[in-house]
Amino acid sequence: METPGQGHVPPGHRQDRLLEHAILTSQEPGTGSRAGRRWQYAIAALLALITAATAVHLWSRNPAPAARPAPAPTSSSHGDGLTDSHDGYRMVAATLPSSRGPDQEIAFRILGQDGLPATGYAEVQTKKLHFYLVRDDLSGYQHLHPGFDGTTWRTRVSIADGGAYRIYAEFIPLDRAGSGHPTVLGLPFLVPGDTKFVPLPPPSATASSGGYTVTRLDGVAHVSQNKPAVLRFDITGPGGGKAQLEQYLGAYAHLSSFEVLNLRLTHMHPIGQALVFHAVFAQRGEQRMFLQFQVGGQVHLAEFTVFVT
């Protein structure tokens, strides 16, 4: 029962008062003797046990909150080339360049969920697999289409300088034909030797290729992070007239965009002859874009830098 005027005393405070009382009562004549000291030690040990029991009781009534479980990993419908495996498929190198030269072999396999080479691919933009190569300073871009012998994809590339490179394989497995969402896998490789770094060009509204001028109709405007972005281009010929574009790989243009910071790949196509591309960019920073188009049977390449803010 609570003493009038004293109010409720928390359990922890009760132990403090018991300890104070024990100490005071033990300070009597004779406490300096061996028997007195033993009496003090016994009281202190008893109070320590009582305090520990009280703490356990209070913890059991108010346990610490349970740790929040880690979020489950999310999956996307396609990769971005930053990993060699995605959605049950894995890219395994067989041959990678180790020196410079205009005719270097690259060979690789795509392994399925059973660990065996995947053999069934849906045709996308007239090809069953699209292959890209770029150096880590976004120079040396190549878009090729390897041959397939039933287990291994093979192509030849030009390596003009040493440095760190990355290759990408873009495809749609046959069992997902018509999904419109390709899988993109990637692998790095290193060519040793002296390297001449190529600075990233600043944003520009125009780029030239083979006498043709490619104009970004939005100038050097930034695009927004994690929001639908629209990229619009127009192409004029040497005389200033509108270029007569031809279909190249099933589309009137191809736009490959690499995030400068980590080389994440986004590949886009326009709908119809109007060169309008739609994308969503996940990260802020620069994007280096490579626009390919065909006129008179010849493929041209125009390059742009675009900021994402």
pLDDT at 78: 61
Q: Can 85-191 and 206-308 be said to share one CATH topology?
A: yes
The secondary structure element, H or E, covering residue 37 is: helix 34-61
Q: Is the pTM of this model over 0.85?
A: no
pLDDT band of 287, cuts 50, 70, 90? very high
CA 291, CA 309: separation in Å to the nearest integer?
Answer: 21
- pLDDT, tens digit, 9 for 90 and up, residues 154-180: 999 999 999 999 999 999 999 888 888
Q: Which residue has the higher pLDDT, 62 or 230?
A: 230
For the segment 55-76, the average pLDDT, to the nearest whole number, is 39
The average confidence (pLDDT) of the chain is 83
Q: Where are the domains of the chain?
A: 11-61, 85-191, 206-308
pLDDT of residue 65 exceeding 50, the answer is no
- Domain 206-308 - what CATH class? mainly beta
pLDDT of residue 49 exceeding 80, the answer is no
pLDDT at 272: 86
pLDDT at 223: 97
Rg of the chain taking only CA atoms, in angstroms: 35
pLDDT of residue 54 exceeding 60, the answer is no
For domain 85-191, is the CATH number 3.40.50.20?
no
pLDDT of residue 114 exceeding 60, the answer is yes
Query: Contact, 197 vs 96, CB < 8 A?
Result: no
- pLDDT, tens digit, 9 for 90 and up, residues 120-130: 999 999 999 99
Helix, coil or strand: residue 209: strand
For the segment 49-68, the average pLDDT, to the nearest whole number, is 43
Nearest to 191 by CA among 168, 145, 154, 157: 157
pLDDT at 11: 45
pLDDT of residue 59 exceeding 80, the answer is no
CA 94, CA 108: separation in Å to the nearest integer?
Answer: 5
What does the chain come to in residues? 309
Least confident of 110-114, 180-184, 252-256: 180-184
- pLDDT, tens digit, 9 for 90 and up, residues 207-256: 999 999 999 999 999 999 999 999 999 999 998 999 999 999 999 999 99
Tokens at 236, concatenated: 């004029």
pLDDT at 39: 46
pLDDT of residue 38 exceeding 70, the answer is no
pLDDT band of 284, cuts 50, 70, 90? very high
Query: Contact, 168 vs 186, CB < 8 A?
Result: yes
Q: Which residue has the higher pLDDT, 29 or 77?
A: 77
Q: Which residue has the higher pLDDT, 111 or 31?
A: 111
